[in-house]
Copies of this chain bind each other. A is one copy, B any other.
């Protein structure tokens, strides 16, 4: 049996899995990234995950390839991580270093591109030719997978929908611009707004949930969902606006690209219809009828594992193509 290994390198954890050819996860490992230790140590840790996953594989099975999803700007052709803010990486030759450590063929790409690839070929988009995915988490990013091919664009930079400036949004963004979609419509952006409102004295049930926590540091996006279910105005307003803004940004992308399906993933997708409701309404309002008809707008099938699945299957595909098999 042929399998491949998929790794998702986050700022907090490295998660990896052995993946069968239909996208089924056969074994999974999760370990802290310890990004502060520097890239050489993190690469050692990734290689360690690969080795331990290999050890779990049934006798007679063969690992065809290792795929690694890395946040930030990735040059998949050169096998380099150009810039990954939350890892502290700049121009790290990931493919070379991991191939040397593991002896296996390694493919890298941007983590969101591989996540959406996973959903496109083995998740919610498996029956669709043109898949547009958006992850709503700490930030907001997107990817386009068309006929099984990831669209990279110039300098592999496609996918920064989170930095589209939205009218009526004035917040400064960590990127240096202001008014970026992700400042208010990402999971972190929603929490940030709620904390700010609470510190300014706004009434909300959220206030009672953190009695000893004067700065509301413990507040999460899940709290906002819970408060919204209790009819809380503050939480409802923030969540609804996030859905509306995501819908508006998506509408522009849909008219320009015409995907068959929009897949929403990341922590924000856990809010379900609380977020997806206003998002879908906005699409309905803004899209030309021909675009509305037949367009699917769904949450990811494998929100937690699409990154592993996509990394593994994409690496398998790339290595197969390269060897002409």
Binding site for B on A (CB under 8 A): 73, 128-130, 142, 144, 146, 151-161, 163-165, 167-168, 175-177, 248-249, 251-253, 255-260, 286, 288-291, 294-295
Closest 4 CB pairs of A and B: A153-B258, A167-B167, A154-B260, A157-B258
Find chain B residues with CB under 8 A from A164 CB.
251-252, 255-256
A258 CB contact (under 8 Å) in B155, B289, B291: B155
**CA–CA, A151 to B175, complex, Å?**
30
In this complex, which of A152, A161, A290 has the most chain B Cβ atoms within 10 angstroms of its Cβ? A290
Find chain B residues with CB under 8 A from A165 CB.
248, 251, 286
Find chain B residues with CB under 8 A from A294 CB.
154-155
**CA–CA, A189 to B160, complex, Å?**
30
**CA–CA, A142 to B159, complex, Å?**
18
A288 CB contact (under 8 Å) in B144, B158, B175, B286: B175
**CA–CA, A279 to B167, complex, Å?**
18
A255 CB contact (under 8 Å) in B160, B260, B290, B295: B160
A291 CB contact (under 8 Å) in B160, B167, B249: B160
B252 A151 Cβ-Cβ under 8 A: no
In this complex, which of A151, A161, A289 has the most chain B Cβ atoms within 10 angstroms of its Cβ? A151
B249 A252 Cβ-Cβ under 8 A: yes
Find chain B residues with CB under 8 A from A257 CB.
144, 151, 153, 158, 256-257
B154 A288 Cβ-Cβ under 8 A: no
Find chain B residues with CB under 8 A from A142 CB.
256
**CA–CA, A294 to B156, complex, Å?**
13
**CA–CA, A161 to B255, complex, Å?**
6
Find chain B residues with CB under 8 A from A256 CB.
142, 144, 158-161, 164, 253, 256-257
- Closest CB-CB distance, A322 to chain B, in whole Å? 17
- Closest CB-CB distance, A86 to chain B, in whole Å? 17
A130 B146 Cβ-Cβ under 8 A: no
**CA–CA, A294 to B155, complex, Å?**
10
B289 A176 Cβ-Cβ under 8 A: yes
A160 B130 Cβ-Cβ under 8 A: no
Find chain B residues with CB under 8 A from A146 CB.
151, 153
